[in-house]
């Protein structure tokens, strides 16, 4: 049923980052399946877009590990051009990628200023079926609207009562310092709040993009078989992401506490 542990496991997928042009990067899925739907990220520039630090991956890597074919648009991608042209360029890059499932594309904006550049033009791009934006509560009124199905994550204390019927789906994070709570390696990054928002993102995107869906029970059975039955370290690691964070001791003993 599972791989022969006397033979080396199939290698983990390695990042094959492609520079489309300055400010536009493409990363195919980092899943064993090897293909997945397209996702466009609007995010700030990064010196190392493939960075993983203490188990925390960049936005680009995290979404690729979820099985998406990802295009990242940085601020300089929009310099001297129309926002619609830039979005269409990203869509074309996804459509040219042989590992991208065609037809339905999502968009996640980690930079609200970039969101405001493109939001009004998204209905003109039929392939984009859902969008997500991170912003600050204090600036929520200035976030551009769109007719594309929208999820908003708002950081900080509410400045006024939420409207009874907000456009799209909205979540509030009063303990977050700023919208950058979801931006890895930023001083305002919050591991727990980002994880919560990411789970909500997946719940929002997958039904609209028709995936990617994985048989998590089968993957877990395979993982535990290699770890506890065959006790093959290499094959166990082959069921995980490139730099997993796993610590069985606090899990099995009920956690860890500081000494008094």
pLDDT of 212 reads 87
Q: Block means of pLDDT (10 residues each) for the chain, length 260 residues? A: 65 90 98 93 98 96 97 98 98 98 98 99 98 98 97 91 65 98 98 98 97 66 67 62 52 52
pLDDT of 250 reads 52
pLDDT of 178 reads 99
pLDDT of 32 reads 82
Q: Dump the DSSP string for 73-106.
A: E-GGGGTTS-HHHHHHHHHHHHHH-TTEEEEEEE
Report the distance separating Cα 155 and Cα 136, nearest Å: 5
pLDDT of 260 reads 46
In 146-235, at which residue ranges do the beta strands (DSSP E only) sit? 150-155, 169-173
pLDDT of 119 reads 98
pTM here? 0.82
pLDDT of 211 reads 76
pLDDT of 242 reads 53
Report pLDDT digits (tens) over 172-225.
Answer: 999 999 999 999 999 999 999 999 999 999 999 999 999 787 555 765 676 576
Report the distance separating Cα 75 and Cα 56, nearest Å: 23
Tokens 């796993």 found at: 246
């Amino acid at each position: 049923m599972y791989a022969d542990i006397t033979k080396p496991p199939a290698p983990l997928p390695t990042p094959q980052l492609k520079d489309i042009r300055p400010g536009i990067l493409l990363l195919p899925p980092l899943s064993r399946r090897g293909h997945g739907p397209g996702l466009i990220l609007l995010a700030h520039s990064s010196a190392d877009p493939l960075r993983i630090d203490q188990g925390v991956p960049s936005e680009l890597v995290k979404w690729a590990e979820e099985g998406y074919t990802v295009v990242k648009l940085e601020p300089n991608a929009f310099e001297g051009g129309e926002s619609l042209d830039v979005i269409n360029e990203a869509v074309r890059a996804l459509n040219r990628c042989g590992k991208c499932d065609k037809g339905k594309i999502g968009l996640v904006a980690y930079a609200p200023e970039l969101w405001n550049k493109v939001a009004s033009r998204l209905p003109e791009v039929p392939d984009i079926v859902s969008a997500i934006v991170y912003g600050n509560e204090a600036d929520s009124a200035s976030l551009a609207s769109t007719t594309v199905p929208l999820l908003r994550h708002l950081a900080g204390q509410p400045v006024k009562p939420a409207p009874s019927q907000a456009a799209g789906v909205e979540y509030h994070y009063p303990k977050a310092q700023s919208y950058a709570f979801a931006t890895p390696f930023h001083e305002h990054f919050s591991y727990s709040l980002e994880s919560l928002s990411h789970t909500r993102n997946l719940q929002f995107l997958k039904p609209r993009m028709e995936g990617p869906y994985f048989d998590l029970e089968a993957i877990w059975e395979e993982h535990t078989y290699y770890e506890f039955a065959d006790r093959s370290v290499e094959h166990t690691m082959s069921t995980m992401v490139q730099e997993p964070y796993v610590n069985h001791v606090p899990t099995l003993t009920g956690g860890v506490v500081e000494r008094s």
